[in-house]
Chain A
Amino acid sequence: MYFIFEIKEGLLIAFRAIRANKMRSVLTTLGIVIGIVSVTLMATAIEGVNRAFEKSASAFGSKVLYIQKFPWVSGEDWWKYRNRKDLKVEFADYVTRQATLVDAVAPAVSTVKDARYGSRSVLNAWITGTTHAYQEASGTTIQEGRFFSQEESDGGRPVCGIGANVAEKLFPSVDPIGQTIKVGGYPYRVLTVFEKQGGLFGAFTSDNRIYVPIKSFMTQFGSHRDVTLNVRVAKNADIEDAKEELRGIMRKVRQLKPAQEDDFNINEQDLLTRVFGAITGIIAGVGFFITGLSLFVGGIGIMNIMYVSVTERTKEIGVRKAIGARRRTILFQFLVEAAIICLIGGIIGLMISYPLSLIADQVLPTAMPLSVVFIALLVSLLVGVVSGFLPAYRAAKMDPVDALRYE
């Protein structure tokens, strides 16, 4: 009960004091405002980068494994991987036959060629040769049409599926399905348009790609190529189990002795996510440290002004003590004042950084998370309490008679 009075009285005094020193309060608040703006924008930017990454990483599919010569992420010597033997197309059939925990396996080879339709062209488009199993193995979604069938694939028919960006560029006004385009000079009939994936990894998504049967790819664009096996893990299989099984199969294919290490890598989206998480973690750490410094400086400003406030009101403190205010009451009064100044700073800061985050949204798919809003308010409250503590403590431990005598 007593505590509620103290809070009410503390708030009342704080608002009176702030109103009595409007200009000073505004200037003091500025430090906190700047601090909160920079910290929240930092948080929003990191959130944006994370979201962009998540969205992009999902293009790789969460249950898709990529058996490749190179690991996606490695600190080690590139030459070691370079010298590994290439993976072969036939491995796909072998894996399909042997593996029990996978739904689909599709080999994929890629190169860069120009694609043309009439007078329109896409220079340096990514061309991927693969099989009918690709669509299921990669989990790409079809926007229009159908993917090529096993017969078309096995027969090396001149048919293709195109990514959303390729479709946009070659067919701004015509329905692409059924049209014939030239890929590296060879005619291909468009069967499929894939849904747009977007994201940061443009080259790896389907957006800028043209998919053709691997058989025709090999004859037209060369057959000595490193193959990637796209593997779709079965719905109810554990991804780690599947990896272990694939590893065993691959070691058998490569005829590795038990002591030899793998000469292939099984990559997955999760790997990228982890590495990315580590990188953004460092960026966030450094970023929050730097922006936190501005908040710290703001806190020092608050401490300074609270000292001034306590000194100015020494007499008032004496009067309050003379009529029965306890130490705790006085301490609380000044803490509340500091906290409110900071909280106001925090609110103003959010009112500035929120519109800015909307502008940032044009560049990154971001929005200020609600948690950031709460944390920002909590932090400003905390800054107030921490930086207000020493001045408030000084006020609280004043001797009533000394305080009253102060001129």
Chain B
Amino acid sequence: MDNLNLNGNVPSGDLSDKWTKYRSTLPLVAPNNKLKIEIIVVGTGLAGASAAATLGELGYLVKCYTFHDSPRRAHSIAAQGGINAAKNYRNDGDSVFRLFYDTIKGGDYRSREANVYRLAEVSTSIIDQAVAQGVPFAREYGGLLDNRSFGGVQVSRTFYARGQTGQQLLLGAYQSLSRQIALGNVKMFTRHEMIELVVKDGKARGIIARNLLTGELEKHGAHAVVLATGGYGNVFYLSTNAMNCNVTAAMRAVAKGAFMANPCFTQIHPTCIPQMGEYQSKLTLMSESLRNDGRVWVPAKKEDAKAIRDGVKTALDIPETDRDYFLERRYPAFGNLVPRDVASRAAKTACDEGNGIVPTGLGVFLDFSAAIERYGKSKANILGLSNPSNAKVIELGEKVIEEKYGNLFEMYEKISGENPYKFPMKIYPAVHYTMGGLWVDYNLMTNVPGLFSIGESNFSDHGANRLGASALMQGLADGYFVLPYTIGTFLSEDISTPKLDVNAPEFTAAADLAKQRIDKLFAIKGKQSAESFHRRLGKIIWEYCGMSRTAEGLTLARQQVRALRDEFYADLYLPGVANDLNPELEKALRVADFIDLGEIMVVDALDRNESCGGHFREEYQTPDGEALRRDDEYAYVSAWEFKGADQDPILHKEMLHFDNVELKTRSYK
């Protein structure tokens, strides 16, 4: 099986100075040569915008693409809670090593040590860069930057901008990108969707982009292609991702030979607003930061839970002694701040046991009353009020909570119609993030030379579970501080390659392929909408490849996904025409790729006979229901080679080596 073993191309040397050394020995591209080198960046989220801006600053000719009408709309805009960095501004014992360690442990020992260390190392520069761009992070009264703590760690290293950290960081990157656009270093193509990758002489040399306004299939060439196209959480249909997030760019690369790594590692976020009805189009996240002050509970008695579900009782009717704060009970050391996978599964267990508190049975409480009282008292103290009334304490406490989470509380109230200051929030886990993605080496290059992948679209740094506030960090680390250097390893060999000729046969063939796919969908002339197939796919994946998985369920899921694919190609109804703005066609093309990805996910989950991070196989658990990892057999990255929808994908393994941390059973008890 040797030929199936992948190499991450990690440079040798000590973990702590690997990156510094490597970076100073990386081949460089001279300024005059950069002016002749074109780079395509697909995506303008944190990863894409930061990479395109930085590459433009360095002097490359950058072409940047997004299906949105503006680069500022990328899904990164929705991130709420914060971004980690090992600044140790709190002096609470944080360090690069600790951030590295927490990330490796949080990821349940399924990520590459060297990449994670580099991420922790460059994290501090991200904060500097963002502040210089004018990102208005939260500050203390002394004018210095504030921090909060996030799930799964015991230090405060999360920088935040109210509940809108992603928005502010993305606007920072977008503004830098805008500057490069104005300078002519980056050419921006909005409303363009990449629907095919062009590979020439074994190297990624361009893309076919569909102009979403005219439907034209445009050929764009470059010396290298960078995918910064985000995650695939919408394979579940319902998720916290924006409606248009999709996996098409990655799957088009996979169809051209790129490997999809760890696709079954998906993250279910514990605190989202529960689903209300069948028509529902997406789920809304309530930031993890809320778990700093909110306590998660269900009624201890099943009859109370039922009374709440039936609307006979409310949370306020349940006395303290009849509440089960199940995270605090099961995980005394971390309590409500256990990592996401642990918190999500615990909520599921509580609901499976019949203690759920919303009509569907799938919901638990997130309660702020204790925090409101605590903050109220401390505020009263500061104001010098002796013996404040209960009402005064609560009033003051609610003010503090409003200052910290005002916009989240408001968002909750808008959606649910309930006031979360008075009644505990109702929450349930929902799909949120995908750790899996395109396989990349230490240079962030896929196995297709010249094709790079950054941000959520790659598999790299989070192993089997991502810690809160680490996705923003990774996207910006990749885009600002890693890719712009490592891309030189590939490009330095290509300085004499002339501008790519888009009339070359490879481009025409790729455009023809895209056209055939579109024509095929129109030719079906069936009866069911793309949306309805998407919804059904999501149900299958959520049911069998969601929070807990079994070999039996996964086997069934694979059959169902295949049957759904057949039905899709036999009965899709696609309105409108190809050469026009046609959102239904966009959706249908994306759903087709989600179906193929869905099957690979299921195959991956079936292959991994262990439980780790977000991947919980019921067959592999400890007697008290915790995940049972099997390091002896499964300490590898699974990278799948796609052989067409009707064939089994081929597994390649990248063995993981841990030289700097000891593999332990994660314990948050």
A, B from the same assembly: no
Residues of B with Cβ closer than 8 Å to A? none
